[in-house]
């Protein structure tokens, strides 16, 4: 487990600093090297998201990771909207293509959310999306396909990842609390945008909301570490990381 390397493919530049921030909390020597994948258009819009998550874009990123950082133990496409936009089957094909190129276990943030809910025994959630409503609806469908019911959706209707990355921590905490208040029966709150800075807030989010809050960058790195065989309890990274495998 010591020396585990999880490669992160991250679109553009918004909240990529969440990964070195999290890496500093990993006490076993695990690393999260990151490569920025091509983002020709920064927009939470279907055509732009299909382009961001194209197999050619991810393959180029995977090859760059290998060239810059050497052998990986797992790889994660750290983009929620750029995976679920393909639908359940398309998202699975996307991961399979990435796995074939990288030669190691692979996943995406969309599937990481599903597996994180399964780890916590969660099937009813409230969704706090930064996306426009039509994009958020596609994630609702993706989750439903995997047995997760979204009780309420709050969509902030922010078009660009760059703008999402500027939201201050107090705004994120208030947003999560408002999402939870709208759905008291939800077992968890999901914040599904890797452009949102959350790693420094994970424990505070859970405390503020009073139930698990799953965020995109959190579940992405958790999924990668899990696939790489480094699935251990880790403090400071929220309820998800403090919940051991059954």
pLDDT (tens digit per residue) in 62-113: 999 999 999 999 999 999 999 999 999 999 999 999 999 999 999 999 999 9
**Residue 28: CB partners within 8 Å, gap ≥ 6?**
1, 2, 4, 230, 232
Distance from chain centroid for Cα 21: 15
The reply to whether 113-215 shares the fold of 6-110+217-237 is: yes
Domain 6-110+217-237: assigned CATH number: 3.40.50.12500
Position 1 confidence tier, pLDDT thresholds 50, 70, 90? very low
Residues 22-30, mean pLDDT to the nearest whole number:
91
pTM: 0.96
Which residues, other chains included, contact 170 with Cβ-Cβ below 8 Å and sequence gap of 6+? none
Q: Where are the alpha helices (DSSP H) in 80-200?
A: 81-84, 87-102, 109-120, 133-145, 161-164, 169-182
CATH number of the domain located at residue range(s) 113-215 in this protein = 3.40.50.12500
* Average pLDDT rounded to a whole number, residues 225-234: 95
216 touches 14 (CB < 8 A):
no
What is the chain's alpha carbon radius of gyration, rounded to the nearest angstrom?
Answer: 16
What mean pLDDT is predicted for residues 141-147?
A: 98
Q: Where are the domains of the chain?
A: 6-110+217-237, 113-215
**Residue 199 predicted with pLDDT over 70:** yes
What mean pLDDT do residues 121-144 have?
96
Q: Given this model, what pLDDT does residue 2 score?
A: 55
* Joined tokens for residue 109: 């943030």
């Amino acid at each position: 487990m010591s020396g585990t390397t999880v490669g992160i493919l991250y679109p553009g530049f918004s909240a990529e600093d969440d990964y070195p921030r999290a890496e500093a909390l990993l006490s076993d020597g695990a690393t999260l090297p990151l490569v920025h994948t091509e983002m020709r258009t920064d927009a939470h819009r279907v055509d732009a998201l299909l382009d961001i998550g194209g197999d050619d874009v991810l393959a180029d990123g995977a090859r760059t990771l290998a060239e810059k950082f050497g052998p990986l133990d797992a790889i994660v496409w750290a983009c929620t909207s750029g995976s679920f936009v393909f639908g359940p089957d398309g998202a699975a094909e996307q991961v399979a293509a990435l796995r074939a190129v990288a030669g190691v276990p692979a996943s995406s943030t969309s599937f990481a959310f599903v597996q994180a809910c399964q780890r916590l025994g969660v099937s009813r959630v409230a969704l706090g999306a930064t996306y426009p409503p039509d994009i958020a609806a596609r994630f609702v469908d993706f989750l439903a396909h995997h047995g997760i019911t979204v009780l309420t959706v709050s969509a902030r209707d922010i078009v660009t990842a760059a703008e999402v990355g500027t939201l201050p921590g107090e705004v994120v905490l208030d947003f999560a609390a408002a999402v939870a208040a709208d759905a008291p029966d939800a077992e968890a709150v999901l914040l599904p945008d890797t452009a949102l800075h959350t790693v420094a807030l994970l424990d505070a989010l859970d405390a503020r909301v009073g139930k698990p809050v799953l965020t995109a960058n959190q579940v992405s790195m958790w999924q990668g570490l899990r696939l790489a065989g480094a699935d251990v309890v880790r403090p400071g990274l929220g309820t998800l990381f403090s919940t051991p495998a059954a």
